[in-house]
């Protein structure tokens, strides 16, 4: 009996009782190996456990996950167990990661070209996926940047290594997580990973994605040698201090060493910095103060809507209504030229519901319909240029219901589907149950 | 309890040579390579750096020297931790990959900044002449950028970096830009540690705006797969060979000569061989640092045994 599958070996699925042909190995970890495999006409991935890890308990965990099914299709979830009479142990079969997807580790190492819009989508999908997982009573336990993959063009994500998922506060954890992503109470050994520690790890991951640095890596970390892992416990567990803690400047990022954090932090709007600050100050030791997945989800969508482009270099910037003067919004974070704000639309007269109307902007039911939160399934409006006057921009009605538009003189007009309304400050559009006002 | 290997300085032998490139001699350029090595009881450290050759990198021989100095200081300080537990090696790897390049770059920049402060371009006739040449040949903007922008002077010091640290628990290989680290296993298998995946002639450099992500780092356990011999070389060496196979054969030659002729023979002849190599090959400076396990010197008897086994296998 061989210990691990070889290319060309046939293994069988337990439920469907079909053959699956093992191809090349595509990953090797402490628990087992992952192979590309052929399952009928489908290309799949098979994870096979090393003999010491192929325990009855592990098998039960996978059986349970298969029975429950994936929280959403972003999880590369086990869908059947596999076995072979000639290979020891067992494995499971899952969907193969889509081509072109990159790991967050590659993003953090700055080896992936992407943009803020895609990163906001990554952040939104992460928060949304973990919310769905947690609402089922599961915890992930090992959130880190090696098991999240994303499409650099649009930010769509895939979450791998789901076999460490377990029932919150019930099933025994086989992993403690990756130290730098662990919540302080897990590092100190006071608890095993659970949904509250997952939420902490999610915030660390988001901080890495947006700041390219660790939220606790500052002056204290700069004194610790690279190979001295035990010393890092103090940073993560015993004495964690947020690098931008407004009330404690003892662990500020060090120029040259944590330059990414220094450069990135001011780029983001205050509402994003507040969420990180809350999680990494009060939330360090009080799990109830940690920003929840739902809050991150809304914040990431708001952040995506606040992107606008520098007229000089075309670089992405974020609109911050709390910080930016409408007349003088400040300098581009890429080229330092003076920024010019584009038209934007504010819904329900709420500063938190502003969408920047860039040339490629689109509105979705998420924006225009109170009852369709996070619905991006169809476009409701898009920006268009006047066919004869290219300098005049309009908002085209892509929905199937007319809009009631009030101009700044108080005149009311109907804009039927496929027609556009010219952008002008003060124009109000009633989309049905939500009103948006054009601002300039 | 971890078994210790004893004194590393008694286990490893070292041979180093650096020659000025044939083309550098013709054009009056100095040897822009630099190297540094240290053999201590608990570690063996080797580093080479190749200062870039084109006009704007007119202080690259200094940049290269400061690069190997920074590498030695930072790597030894960061890696030699009292009571290091080899079991933590897989976990340490992530931190080393993230932090070590950042700290080496920081140290190199501080050293360059200090050198620049002590030797400003305006007080250096050679530098002024080079800046004038840059202005004439490549336009006043480049001169302006090097001379006046806040850290534009770094460009003049552009260099690659290659380093290896051997301890009783691990071997750390590190590389930024061109250059080669070649290892020979105990079974005679010759491999290049990092694949040459850079396209075109432009090399990654310490003088880039953000070089840290471009460092290649490999950290392997020294208890399992310790090479018998390895060498690091600036790219003038590999570029002098017609093929990768020819270049790899150098490792075989070293391994064969060491027990037969002794290390002194290699020490005496390496500079001449390298000189001939640059003349017939790349014309570039060549620096080679060769490290070998001293046990290799006494393995002639074993090699006979190996041949016997080989013959049996062939039968």
Convert the pLDDT of each residue in B216-232 to its tens digit: 999 999 877 789 999 99
Q: Residue A170: which pLDDT band, with cuts at 50, 70 and 90?
A: low
More reliable by pLDDT, A149 or A390: A149
Question: What mean pLDDT do residues A168-172 have?
Answer: 59
Nearest CA in chain B to A112: B213
Please list every residue in chain A whose beta carbon sits closer than 8 Å to the beta carbon of residue B78: 225-227
Cβ–Cβ of B78/A227 closer than 8 Å?
yes
- Mutating which of B80, B106, B109, B169 best tests the A interface, going by the most A Cβ atoms within 10 A? B106
Q: Residue B199: which pLDDT band, with cuts at 50, 70 and 90?
A: low
Cβ–Cβ of B213/A225 closer than 8 Å?
no
Three-state SS for B270?
A: helix
User: What are the start-end ranges of the E strands in A329-372?
Assistant: 344-347, 354-356, 362-363
Give the closest-approach CA distance of B213 to chain A in angstroms: 6
Res A372: pLDDT: 95
d(CA B70, CA B85): 26
* A290: Cβ contacts below 8 Å, ≥ 6 apart: A196, A199, A200, A203, A278, A279, A283
Residue B308: pLDDT over 80:
no
Whether the Cβ atoms of residue A210 and residue A119 lie closer than 8 Å to each other: yes
Helical residues (DSSP H) of B161-243, grouped into ranges: 235-238
Give the closest-approach CA distance of B258 to chain A in angstroms: 34
pLDDT in tens, B113-139: 999 999 999 999 999 999 999 999 999
Q: What share of chain B is helix, strand, coil (3-state, %, to 5)?
A: 50, 20, 30
Nearest CA-CA partner of A107 in A160, A80, A145, A70: A145
Nearest CA in chain B to A225: B78
Q: Which residues of A380-403 are buried (b: 16+ CB within 10 A; e: fewer)?
A: bbbbbeeeeeeeebbbbbbbeebb
Residue A83: pLDDT over 90:
yes
Which backbone phi and psi does B31 adopt, to 5 degrees? -75, 115
Nearest CA-CA partner of B103 in B217, B198, B197, B179: B217
Res A154: pLDDT: 95
Which residue in B78, B88, B102 is closest to A225 by CB distance? B78
Helical residues (DSSP H) of chain B, grouped into ranges: 8-11, 22-27, 60-79, 89-118, 125-138, 140-148, 235-238, 244-261, 263-280, 300-314
Please list every residue in chain B whose beta carbon sits closer than 8 Å to the beta carbon of residue A232: 95
d(CA A55, CA A71): 25
Whether the Cβ atoms of residue A364 and residue A355 lie closer than 8 Å to each other: no
Which backbone phi and psi does B109 adopt, to 5 degrees? -65, -40
The top-level CATH class assigned to A102-298 is mainly alpha
* A40: Cβ contacts below 8 Å, ≥ 6 apart: A18
Please list every residue in chain B whose beta carbon sits closer than 8 Å to the beta carbon of residue A226: 78-79, 92, 95-96, 99-100, 103
Which backbone phi and psi does A147 adopt, to 5 degrees? -110, 15
> Token pair of A35, please?
């192979």
d(CA B208, CA B160): 10
d(CA B263, CA B291): 11
Q: Residue B312: which pLDDT band, with cuts at 50, 70 and 90?
A: very low
Give the closest-approach CA distance of A370 to chain B in angstroms: 44
Cβ–Cβ of A256/B102 closer than 8 Å?
yes
Quick one: A10-95 is in which CATH superfamily?
Answer: Phosphorylase Kinase; domain 1 (3.30.200.20)
Cβ–Cβ of A257/B102 closer than 8 Å?
yes
The top-level CATH class assigned to B8-314 is alpha beta
Name the maximum alpha-carbon separation found in chain A: 84
Res B313: pLDDT: 39
H or E element in which residue B287 lies: strand B286-293
Cβ–Cβ of A227/B102 closer than 8 Å?
no
C-alpha to C-alpha distances, A46 to A33, A38, A58, A300, B118, nearest whole angstrom: 8, 9, 15, 33, 61
Whether the Cβ atoms of residue B118 and residue B166 lie closer than 8 Å to each other: no
Q: What share of chain A is helix, strand, coil (3-state, %, to 5)?
A: 30, 25, 50
d(CA A113, CA B106): 24
pLDDT in tens, A330-374: 999 999 999 999 999 999 999 999 999 999 999 999 999 999 999
Please report the number of interchain residue pairs, chain A to chain B, with beta-carbon separation below 8 angstroms. Answer: 47
Res A204: pLDDT: 97
Cβ–Cβ of A229/B92 closer than 8 Å?
yes
Residue A175: pLDDT over 60:
no
* Number of neighbours of residue B126 by Cβ within 10 angstroms: 10
* Sequence spans of domains, chain A: 10-95, 102-298, 342-439
Of the given ranges (B36-50, B51-65, B82-96), which has the lowest mean pLDDT? B82-96
For the domain spanning A342-439, the CATH number is 2.60.200.20
Please list every residue in chain B whose beta carbon sits closer than 8 Å to the beta carbon of residue A111: 213
* A316: Cβ contacts below 8 Å, ≥ 6 apart: A115, A116, A117, A307, A308, A309, A310
| Mean pLDDT rounded to a whole number for chain A | 92
Residue A145: pLDDT over 90:
no
What is the end-to-end Cα distance of chain A in Å, rounded?
Answer: 72
Nearest CA-CA partner of A344 in A359, A328, A330: A359
d(CA A76, CA A96): 7
Which backbone phi and psi does A27 adopt, to 5 degrees? -170, 150
Please list every residue in chain B whose beta carbon sits closer than 8 Å to the beta carbon of residue A230: 85, 88
The ipTM of this complex is: 0.85
């Amino acid at each position: 009996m061989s210990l691990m599958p070889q290319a060309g070996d046939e293994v069988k699925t337990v439920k469907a009782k079909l053959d699956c042909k093992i191809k090349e190995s595509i990953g090797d970890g402490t628990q087992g190996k992952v192979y590309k495999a052929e399952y009928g006409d489908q290309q799949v991935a098979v994870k096979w456990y090393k003999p010491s890890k192929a325990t009855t308990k592990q098998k039960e965990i996978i059986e349970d996950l298969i029975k429950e099914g994936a929280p959403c299709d972003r999880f590369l979830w086990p869908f059947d167990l596999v076995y072979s009479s000639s290979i020891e142990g067992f494995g499971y079969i899952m969907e193969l990661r889509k081509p072109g997807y990159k790991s967050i580790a590659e993003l953090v190492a700055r080896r992936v070209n992407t943009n803020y819009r895609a990163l906001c989508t990554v952040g939104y999908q992460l928060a949304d996926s973990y919310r769905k997982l947690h609402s089922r009573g599961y915890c992930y336990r090992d959130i880190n940047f090696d098991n999240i993959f994303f499409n650099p063009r649009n930010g769509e994500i895939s979450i791998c290594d789901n076999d460490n998922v377990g029932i919150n506060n019930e099933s025994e954890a086989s992993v403690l997580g990756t130290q730098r992503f662990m919540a302080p109470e897990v590092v100190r050994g006071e608890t095993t990973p659970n949904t509250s520690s997952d939420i902490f790890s999610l915030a660390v991951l988001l901080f890495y994605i947006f700041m390219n640095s660790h939220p606790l890596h500052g002056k204290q970390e700069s004194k610790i040698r690279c190979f001295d892992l035990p010393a890092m416990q103090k940073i993560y567990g015993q004495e964690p201090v947020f690098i931008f803690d407004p009330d404690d400047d003892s662990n500020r990022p060090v120029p040259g060493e944590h330059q990414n954090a220094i450069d990135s932090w001011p780029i983001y709007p205050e509402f994003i910095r507040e969420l990180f600050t809350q999680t990494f100050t009060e939330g360090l030791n009080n799990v109830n103060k940690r920003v929840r997945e739902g809050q991150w989800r809304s914040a990431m969508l708001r952040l995506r809507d606040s992107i606008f482009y520098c007229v000089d270099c075309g670089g992405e910037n974020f609109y911050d209504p709390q910080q930016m003067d409408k007349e003088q919004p400040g300098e581009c974070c890429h080229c330092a030229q003076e920024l010019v704000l584009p038209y934007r639309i504010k819904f329900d007269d709420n500063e938190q519901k502003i969408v920047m109307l860039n040339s490629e902007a689109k509105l979705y039911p998420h924006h225009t319909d109170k009852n369709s939160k996070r619905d991006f399934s169809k476009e409701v409006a898009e920006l268009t240029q006047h066919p004869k006057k290219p300098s005049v921009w309009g908002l085209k009605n892509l929905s199937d219901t007319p809009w009631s538009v009030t101009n700044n003189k108080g005149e009311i007009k109907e804009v039927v589907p496929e027609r556009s309304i010219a952008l002008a400050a003060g124009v109000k559009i009633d989309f049905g149950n939500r009103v948006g006002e054009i601002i300039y | 309890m971890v078994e210790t290997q004893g004194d590393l300085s008694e286990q490893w032998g070292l041979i180093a040579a650096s020659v000025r490139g044939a083309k550098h001699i013709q054009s009056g350029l100095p040897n822009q390579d630099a190297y540094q090595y240290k053999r201590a009881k608990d570690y063996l450290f080797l580093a080479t750096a190749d200062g870039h050759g084109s006009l704007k990198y007119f202080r690259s021989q200094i940049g290269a020297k400061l690069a190997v100095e920074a590498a030695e200081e930072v790597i030894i300080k960061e890696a030699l931790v009292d009571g290091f537990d080899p079991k933590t090696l897989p976990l340490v790897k992530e931190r080393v990959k993230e932090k070590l390049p950042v700290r080496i770059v920081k140290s190199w920049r501080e050293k360059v900044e200090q050198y620049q402060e002590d030797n400003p371009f305006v007080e250096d006739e050679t530098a002024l002449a080079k800046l004038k040449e840059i202005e004439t040949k490549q336009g006043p903007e480049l001169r302006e950028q090097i001379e006046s922008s806040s850290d534009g002077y770094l460009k003049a010091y552009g260099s690659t970096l290659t380093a290896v640290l051997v301890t009783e628990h691990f071997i750390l290989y590190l590389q930024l830009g061109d250059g080669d680290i070649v290892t020979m296993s105990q079974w005679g298998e010759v491999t290049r540690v990092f694949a040459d995946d850079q396209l075109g002639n432009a090399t990654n450099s310490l003088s880039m705006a953000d070089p840290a992500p471009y460092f290649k780092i490999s950290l392997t356990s020294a208890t399992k797969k310790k090479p018998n011999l390895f060498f690091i070389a600036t790219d003038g060496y590999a570029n002098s060979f017609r093929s990768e196979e020819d270049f790899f054969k150098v490792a075989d030659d070293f391994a064969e000569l060491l027990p037969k002729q002794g290390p002194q023979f290699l020490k005496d002849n390496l500079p001449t061989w390298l000189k001939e190599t640059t003349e017939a090959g790349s014309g570039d400076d060549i620096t080679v640092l060769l490290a070998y396990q001293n046990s290799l010197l006494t393995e002639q008897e074993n090699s006979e045994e190996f041949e016997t086994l080989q013959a049996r296998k062939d039968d």
